[in-house]
Structure 1
Amino acid sequence: MHRVAVAGVGVRNDGSPLASTTSAARSAISVAVASPMSGSIRAEWGSSVAQLGQLTSYSFLGMFAGRIIGGRLADRLGRRRVLVWASAVYSIASLLSALAPNLAVLGVLRVITGVGIQAVTGVLIVYVAEMFPGASRGRSQALMLGIGLLGVPLVASAARLIVPLSPESWRWVFVLGAIGIIPAVLARFLLPESVRWAAVNGRADEARATVERMEAQLPDPLPEIVETTAIHEYKKASDLFAPEIRKRTIVVTLTLIFGTLGVFGFTGWVPTLPVERGYSTVEALTITTIFSIGPPLGALFAMLLSDRFQRRTTSLVLTSTVAALMLVFAFTGSYWILVISGFAVTMLLQTNTAVVYAYLPEVFPTVLRGLGSGFANGISRLSGFGNAFLIAAIAAAAGFGGVFTLTAAFVLLCGLTVGLFGERTRGRRLEDIGEKVP
């Protein structure tokens, strides 16, 4: 437990990782179940591959909107309220997806599902940043991401068991996705509002009450309260580009854009390289299975790094290492070097993601933290959509060596952007980072 001072009101921040890890898992689960259903959907409705591709694109647009809308609403209405209602939205949309009569209706519902999921995920990053002590914010974000990623292979496996049972069994996978309504109801009654958000929005009594409930669980007295006052107040969305904040907005947005281009560029083309190199289908499947273990391990590995060193420096070191390993992966002729380097890349990419996710909400004032984080993440999602076309063009012109050289460059640019131009955040109170902008 740790005490902080928010907007002149002495409050302490703390929180339980239960809601956080559950929401992260639900977000990862939604992505994991999509692939095994595509064949059944195509068979039932006679859809073309292009139409299914459009369905994926619609979901991507929903994710973009969800990040920005969810962040803005969280700044206006509160973190907890958006978490609860966004969870309910995507759970209901997932349930209705199981009843969709055609691809068009399913497409609309998948957009709504994407909005809800990304609103939850984006606001959750902000909530964890505000409700955990500065000394453990990075570990908390890494734990959230790591447990969420552990759910991916489990639920993907369940989908692969359910879908083949009958031509319409794919609908039950969407029913499975609707279980998010359970933690939404629990969060409504058990999850406290962010004390930082409450304090800067005229709800100091609520913030104090939350702190007192937490203090009642402590056997030892808390340290003295140090009161501080936020210097700047921002109300409009355009304030993200106010002179004092503009640099931070640009830095985190570019960091996430380059990171998204590198991650999705690499992971999207990894399964095809072994086959192109002449390995058998069994060998290629073995390689991708080994790689699938890397992301959750990488996120959990970030727990050892994120709070121990400056996050901007950690990201630069990680991305430099990943970029070098990507080149080894692209050009090696050895099977085992390919496996080891590729596994290390998939693992360390998620380590860097956890570090960047911890960094992202720290640099914005409380009143703009949701919108700022959502804007940067939403724009990066759009860049990921266009990245597929860019990577395909590079593959046609320069082969896989060119593809992975490009992804290595993107990953390195991600680290250079935050490493050279980012703020120092490790161990600092959010009021000293986001509120006291120069």
Structure 2
Amino acid sequence: MTDTSTAETVAPRLDRLPFTRTHLKVLTGSGAGWALDAMDVGLISFVIAALVAQWDLTTEATSWIASAGFAGMAIGATLGGLLADRIGRRSVFALTLLVYGLATGASALAGGIAALIALRFVVGLGLGAELPVASTYVSEFAPARMRGRLIVILEAFWAVGWTASALIGFFVIPNVPEGWRWALALGAVPALYALVIRWGLPESPRWLARRGRQEEAEKVVGSLEASPPLFGSRAVRPPVAAAQPAPTSGLGVGERLRALWAPALRRRTVALWVVWFCVNFAYYGAFIWIPTLLFSQGFDLVKSFGFTLIITLAQLPGYAVAAWLIEVWGRRATLSVFLLGSGVSAVLFGQSSAEWAILATGMALSFFNLGAWGALYAATPEMYPTSLRATGAGWAAGVGRIASIAAPPSVPLMIGVGGIGLVFFVFAVFFVVAAVAAWGLVEGRGSALAD
């Protein structure tokens, strides 16, 4: 049973709030989980490079380690979104952290490539479900006038985690016997953090209201209203009302999936899936392979990891600029510009051979690509009403993960045909297609979330 009037009461109260201490708790609590996710994904790029050297594996064989994780992510993203719309955002967030944290720790004990591939699939199940659920969760707390910026800041925690993985890759993997095992063992940290998430953060009041749990929703909103403001003031004018699709509360799994393709949502679903597919293919194809590609070009393991660390640091200013522009230009323009910048940077990176050029173009690729990710995660939850939000975000991410499965094995094939230059030209084409598709999304700047 759901209560529409309660949901309508909760939403404007949330949108009028300043940024409070409770908002900061939700943002940093979710962001820390996001950073741990990034650390896990980033670590596997360094592990692959180390295994090529230590286990004498072919690049084709090691590519399946990455693809197994992304296969799990594809399934996890679709199931996680469905579960989050049914049992709640916070519970699924904690469960996914627990699954992938334990599986990552176990993968440190893998005795061969088959066991490692199997464990990476389980890691992917948890990781794939967590990311779209976390962005949905934070978006449902954020006031409309600052929602896009806060989601980009949430996504910026990815850079923190990836930088942590680069530091571990640089200092631990090449310098410690079986260093890749110690690196993966650190991935067990999220299993402990899951307990903090589960009991330390409130459930989404929008989701509670839609599920008819009025007293719980009122309690969460009341705590936000009583929380000390950190910046901003209470909004006087309500945000622009979002277009309200047909009610979807209480639908079963199959009905919710069909609802994503209802006439009012069909165009945005197509555009969103195309963007997610193209960005995943280009991003994971490039960044999973950068340490290994540098190693294959004659740089030793330490130097290739050091270059990757420097390139990774450029993610942070990319997020910062996107966080500012997304409330100035809007979601679509910011996303499109950063994707076009990614495409140009990819072509230049593929043609670079001098060390300074590799660093400069790699940093540009990192800057633009991660800024685009921030804009994409900000836009995605705004495409759907509350009862479909996690399902829609999860399925878009799941479609994207199909591309991330295909990307790692495709890189050795493309290298065999046309070298690294061809690889990054193909990635640039995917970025350009995504930039065009971004204009099919609904612009959510300054609008209330559809409930």
How does the TM-score come out when normalised to structure 1? 0.84
* Alignment correspondent of 2:437: 417
For structure 2, the 5+ residue unaligned runs are 15-21
Output the amino acid matched with 1:385. I
- Does 1:178 find its partner at 2:178? no
How many angstroms does 1:333 deviate by?
A: 8.0
* Alignment correspondent of 1:342: 362
How many angstroms does 1:101 deviate by?
A: 5.8
* Alignment correspondent of 1:10: 10
Cα distance in 2 between the residues matched to 1:416 and 1:147: 27
Cα distance in 2 between the residues matched to 1:272 and 1:165: 17
**Percent identity between the two aligned chains:** 28
User: Which SS does the other structure have where 1:9 is aligned?
Assistant: helix
Greater Cα offset, 120-129 or 212-221: 212-221
How many angstroms does 1:72 deviate by?
A: 0.8
Greater Cα offset, 348-357 or 185-194: 185-194
Tell me if the contact between 1:126 and 1:370 (Cα under 8 Å) persists in the aligned partners.
Answer: yes
How many angstroms does 1:414 deviate by?
A: 0.8
1:307-344, Cα deviation, whole Å (9 max, x unpaired): 22211011222223333343444457876555434322
Cα distance in 2 between the residues matched to 1:47 and 1:286: 22
Greater Cα offset, 102-111 or 308-317: 102-111
Tell me if the contact between 1:23 and 1:121 (Cα under 8 Å) persists in the aligned partners.
Answer: no
Output the amino acid matched with 1:180. P
Of 242, 250, 258 in structure 1, the residue corresponding to residue 262 of structure 2 is 242
User: Which SS does the other structure have where 2:10 is aligned?
Assistant: strand
Greater Cα offset, 265-274 or 380-389: 265-274
Output the amino acid matched with 1:206. E
* Alignment correspondent of 2:18: none
How many angstroms does 1:345 deviate by?
A: 2.1
Cα distance in 2 between the residues matched to 1:47 and 1:396: 17
* Alignment correspondent of 2:44: 34
Output the amino acid matched with 1:424. E
Tell me if the contact between 1:322 and 1:408 (Cα under 8 Å) persists in the aligned partners.
Answer: yes
Cα distance in 2 between the residues matched to 1:201 and 1:427: 26
Q: In the superposition, relative to structure 1, how do residues 44 and 6 fare at CA in structure 2: closer, same or farther (>3 Å)?
A: farther
* Alignment correspondent of 1:150: 160
Cα distance in 2 between the residues matched to 1:43 and 1:392: 16
Cα distance in 1 between the residues matched to 2:62 and 2:355: 34
Cα distance in 1 between the residues matched to 2:371 and 2:272: 17
How many angstroms does 1:175 deviate by?
A: 3.4
Q: In the superposition, relative to structure 1, how do residues 373 and 229 fare at CA in structure 2: closer, same or farther (>3 Å)?
A: closer
User: Which SS does the other structure have where 1:33 is aligned?
Assistant: helix
Query: 5 Å matches for 1:320-331?
Result: 320-331=340-351
Q: In the superposition, relative to structure 1, how do residues 359 and 273 fare at CA in structure 2: closer, same or farther (>3 Å)?
A: same
What is the RMSD computed on CA atoms of the aligned residues? 3.5
User: Which SS does the other structure have where 1:430 is aligned?
Assistant: coil
Cα distance in 2 between the residues matched to 1:266 and 1:172: 25
Cα distance in 1 between the residues matched to 2:353 and 2:110: 48
Greater Cα offset, 89-98 or 129-138: 89-98
Q: In the superposition, relative to structure 1, how do residues 82 and 248 fare at CA in structure 2: closer, same or farther (>3 Å)?
A: same
Tell me if the contact between 1:19 and 1:183 (Cα under 8 Å) persists in the aligned partners.
Answer: no
User: Which SS does the other structure have where 1:241 is aligned?
Assistant: coil
Cα distance in 2 between the residues matched to 1:168 and 1:339: 28
How many angstroms does 1:125 deviate by?
A: 1.0
Q: In the superposition, relative to structure 1, how do residues 230 and 198 fare at CA in structure 2: closer, same or farther (>3 Å)?
A: farther
Of 71, 92, 97 in structure 1, the residue corresponding to residue 102 of structure 2 is 92
Tell me if the contact between 2:72 and 2:124 (Cα under 8 Å) persists in the aligned partners.
Answer: yes
User: Which SS does the other structure have where 1:135 is aligned?
Assistant: helix
Of 216, 233, 254 in structure 1, the residue corresponding to residue 247 of structure 2 is 233
How many angstroms does 1:348 deviate by?
A: 0.9
Q: In the superposition, relative to structure 1, how do residues 212 and 250 fare at CA in structure 2: closer, same or farther (>3 Å)?
A: same
- Does 1:302 find its partner at 2:322? yes
User: Which SS does the other structure have where 1:233 is aligned?
Assistant: coil
* Alignment correspondent of 1:316: 336
Q: In the superposition, relative to structure 1, how do residues 97 and 204 fare at CA in structure 2: closer, same or farther (>3 Å)?
A: same
- Does 1:292 find its partner at 2:292? no
Cα distance in 1 between the residues matched to 2:167 and 2:292: 21
- Does 1:208 find its partner at 2:218? yes
How many angstroms does 1:109 deviate by?
A: 2.8
Output the amino acid matched with 2:403. S
* Alignment correspondent of 1:109: 119
Tell me if the contact between 1:38 and 1:52 (Cα under 8 Å) persists in the aligned partners.
Answer: yes
How many angstroms does 1:384 deviate by?
A: 2.3
1:154-203, Cα deviation, whole Å (9 max, x unpaired): 34433554456765665443432122133321222221111111111111
Output the amino acid matched with 2:10. G
Tell me if the contact between 1:90 and 1:117 (Cα under 8 Å) persists in the aligned partners.
Answer: yes
Tell me if the contact between 2:350 and 2:420 (Cα under 8 Å) persists in the aligned partners.
Answer: yes
Greater Cα offset, 377-386 or 222-231: 222-231
User: Which SS does the other structure have where 2:260 is aligned?
Assistant: helix
* Alignment correspondent of 1:407: 427
Cα distance in 1 between the residues matched to 2:155 and 2:430: 22
Output the amino acid matched with 2:370. Q
Q: In the superposition, relative to structure 1, how do residues 64 and 6 fare at CA in structure 2: closer, same or farther (>3 Å)?
A: farther
Cα distance in 2 between the residues matched to 1:163 and 1:389: 23
Of 150, 159, 167 in structure 2, the residue corresponding to residue 140 of structure 1 is 150
Tell me if the contact between 1:45 and 1:102 (Cα under 8 Å) persists in the aligned partners.
Answer: no
Cα distance in 2 between the residues matched to 1:35 and 1:228: 41
Q: In the superposition, relative to structure 1, how do residues 188 and 322 fare at CA in structure 2: closer, same or farther (>3 Å)?
A: closer
* Alignment correspondent of 1:380: 400
Output the amino acid matched with 1:126. T
For structure 1, the 5+ residue unaligned runs are none
Output the amino acid matched with 2:246. H
Q: In the superposition, relative to structure 1, how do residues 200 and 405 fare at CA in structure 2: closer, same or farther (>3 Å)?
A: same
Q: In the superposition, relative to structure 1, how do residues 288 and 107 fare at CA in structure 2: closer, same or farther (>3 Å)?
A: closer
Cα distance in 2 between the residues matched to 1:134 and 1:45: 51
Cα distance in 1 between the residues matched to 2:309 and 2:84: 38
Tell me if the contact between 2:77 and 2:129 (Cα under 8 Å) persists in the aligned partners.
Answer: yes
* Alignment correspondent of 2:87: 77
Cα distance in 1 between the residues matched to 2:53 and 2:394: 37
Of 199, 211, 221 in structure 2, the residue corresponding to residue 189 of structure 1 is 199
Tell me if the contact between 2:163 and 2:309 (Cα under 8 Å) persists in the aligned partners.
Answer: no
Number of equivalenced pairs = 426
